[in-house]
Amino acid sequence: MGLNVAITGMGVVSALGHTAEELFRRLENNDIAVKQVPWTMDDPDRFEWWAPVTDVNAEKYLDDHVFAGTDPFAHNSLVAAFHAVENSGQTDFDPLRTAVVLGTSKNGTQTMEYAQFMADRGGRDAVSRKLMIKVWPNMAASQIAMNYKLHGPCFTLSNACASSLDAVGLGARLIASGMVDAAIVGGTEGGLSTGSDDKDFVPASAFARYAYGMGDNTEEDPRKACMPFDVDRQGMVFGEGAGVFILESAERARARQANVLAWVQGWGSAADAYHPSAPDPSGEWECLVMEQAINEASVAPGEIDALAAHGTGTPKGDVSEIRAISACYGDHAKDVSVMSIKGLLGHPTGAAGALSLAVALEGMKHNKVIHTGGLVRPEPDIEFDIVMDEPRRKPLEWVQANAFGFGGQNASLVVSAGPTA
């Protein structure tokens, strides 16, 4: 028997729309969010790509005081939480029996970089007195707790790109343990474009990732900037956004006759303990978390219909995940339809798993697995059913989602269309 934790609400902020439905539709239409960063526009020898959120209009949802005192990474989570709560049909939360668990990787890093840039140019008076409360990692979760007057557990996870799936898994475990009855969970990133109107500002992190080989891409076509599982892939594209979910115990969801989107059944989390940025090439530990999630869900590998892969388009990352998928599903791998959203959406780092999960849940509703944008020539070692060119129609009862990050942070989640006995 799995965890049987109900997902009753879902909210999305992304570079391709601000509802799960819009995000799914735009991915289905092969729309792409990837753009060239402003500081390489005039450089003929260098291309760097990103996928920023530019139209969330957070001030529409937040009062002036909250808007001014929060960073874009928190803005995105607050807007996504607003939509998730609305989507869930909630009227109130028990303030002591509701948790907030949010993941983020970069939090307010670029705002901090821009503040240093302004300080160097304009001195101490050029820096906002609210800088610290804007950029600290816990401020997204804390602002959600403050907005809904919640006094239960409030956790912030920073597990690189596994952050948001770990947040969903931890929230589900808190409910399954009886510690709380409901949880607001997910992940967020924001602030990529902070200060980008100032052409003199280039964030130090951009120089660092370029030097490290993470942002450099010689392709001039944005559709070739990120090519998950493709033999010609060159690397990932940084993105941003937020995915937030409302989780409830089965008893609470049934008592209020909630519309249940899906059921969290299993979660796996483990560390590679291998390298700061490269995954263990064997895929052993990625396979382990997939198996942990499947085993907790009490489902057989052959019953998994689709997998929302991490699929970053990095040469090393894709190889390890290909091996992990093949090892986990074994002879059933050919029956599992696998997709990655990052070729079209970019890589929203700490929010990546949550946004992949949102697309998977929307796919369950429509009986479709979204295709993998950017994929033209699949790696020859792929043994599973990689979805490319267009979405795949098929009934989806069991879906798995992966998220793997720097430092060897690995997370996997299994959800079902209905509760288990």
Q: For position 242, what pLDDT does the model report?
A: 98
Domain boundary at 255, 276, 292, which?
255
Residues 374 and 400 in one domain: yes
Predicted model pTM: 0.96
- Confidence grade of residue 59 (pLDDT, cut at 50, 70, 90): very high
Q: For position 215, what pLDDT does the model report?
A: 57
Contact between residue 371 and residue 344 where contact means Cβ atoms under 8 Å apart:
no
21-49: string of b/e by CB count within 10 Å (b at 16+)?
eebbebbbeeebbbbbbbbbeeeeeebbb
CA distance 295 to 285: 15
Is 260 a member of any domain? no
Is 386 a member of any domain? yes
Residues 325 and 219 in one domain: no
The SS3 of residue 216 is: strand
Q: For position 40, what pLDDT does the model report?
A: 75
Output the CA torsion sign for 317, 341, 381, 297.
Answer: positive
Residues 201 and 247 in one domain: yes
Residues 199 and 250 in one domain: yes
Q: Which residue has the higher pLDDT, 213 or 378?
A: 378
pLDDT in tens, 194-215: 766 677 888 887 777 766 666 5
Residues 309 and 251 in one domain: no
Domain boundary at 199, 221, 255, which?
255
Q: Which domain holds residue 320?
A: 266-416
Domain boundary at 228, 255, 282, which?
255
Is 421 a member of any domain? no
Which phi and psi angles does 63 have, rounded to 5°?
A: -70, 165
pLDDT in tens, 236-254: 999 999 999 999 999 999 9
Number of structural domains in the chain: 2
Question: What mean pLDDT is reported for the chain?
Answer: 93
Q: Which residue has the higher pLDDT, 24 or 47?
A: 24
CA distance 316 to 47: 21
Residues 237 and 339 in one domain: no
Position 121 pLDDT exceeds 70? yes
Residues 50 and 193 in one domain: yes
The full length of the chain comes to 421
pLDDT in tens, 3-35: 999 999 999 999 999 999 999 999 999 999 999
Is 117 a member of any domain? yes
Provide the CATH number for the domain around residue 41: 3.40.47.10
Tally the C-alpha atoms within 13 A of residue 259's C-alpha that lie toward its C-beta: 10
Residues 319 and 399 in one domain: yes
Q: What average pLDDT does the segment 337-342 reach?
A: 98
Residues 303 and 219 in one domain: no
Is 353 a member of any domain? yes
